[in-house]
Amino acid sequence: MTSAPARPDPLIAVAELSRTLTDVTLLDVRWRFRGPVGLAEYGAGHVPGAAYVDLDTELCAPADARGRRPVPSPEAFTAAMREHGVRPDRPVVVYDADDSSAAARGWWLLRYFGHQDVRVLDGGYAAWLAAGLPVESGPPERRRGTFVAVPGSMPTLDAEGAARTARTGVLLDVRPAERYRGEGDHAKEVPGHIPGAVSAPALDNVTADGRFRAASDLRGRFGGLGTAPVGAYCGSGILAAHAVLALRVAGIDAALYTGSWSQWTMDPARPVALGPGTG
């Protein structure tokens, strides 16, 4: 697995954000798998100046042949980001409740669609509160943005590319390990994993308080997995973005299989592996 050239840290700490709060566009992407949307939590309090972004409707297209949570069209993403004040010449900081599993989707999409300066608040809103920093309620006052989404600035995989990466490089299955093994009841999900994929649960990349592990720790975790190319997938493309972010922190570039397991299993001719190991 090869390391990428030095680049700005994709994370921002609470202390740094508090010093630069008026110089960035803030997006609140609080969201939970199979949970209520985060709008109520946002209304109760958020980082000052943050706009609420609904992951299901603004960071995903409706389910279709591309998977359960497809990448939105450039037109739809442009409209959503402009509504929230995103401009190409102004840094963006994205956060969620704590572990960045939702914020990473916003980070990845903005990077994929061409924004050059996007960071994720390490530890999310929980870290902001723990630092005793001020919060506000109500929507922010913000000018309409000018961002134009142009796809292609982050590497992606389709099903064929994912299968090839599993054969020739390292394809990370970043779902919980029991889902990789095909164990348990996961609500209509086909059990198992893409043959050749390596189990590497995404949330093992963060500590108990939701902050990302140190870059050196992440390099140690990923360094023994093999050689480039590197790809990641999950159930529908959300946690895979989190893994791509963690890999970026470690200095490693990775492609995201945007359709992930939900798209892979739409075709019964695609092989499925069960049990532990690498498939």
The set of catalytic residues is 234
Structure tokens at 139: 């929507």
User: Closest Cα to residue 108, out of 204, 10, 24?
Assistant: 10
Q: Residue 74: how many CA atoms within 13 Å on its side-chain side?
A: 12
User: Closest Cα to residue 93, out of 16, 152, 207, 155?
Assistant: 16
Q: Are 231 and 254 in contact (CB under 8 A)?
A: yes
User: Closest Cα to residue 181, out of 191, 170, 166, 171?
Assistant: 191
Structure tokens at 53: 């972004």
Q: Give the integer Cα–Cα distance in Å for 158 and 272.
A: 16
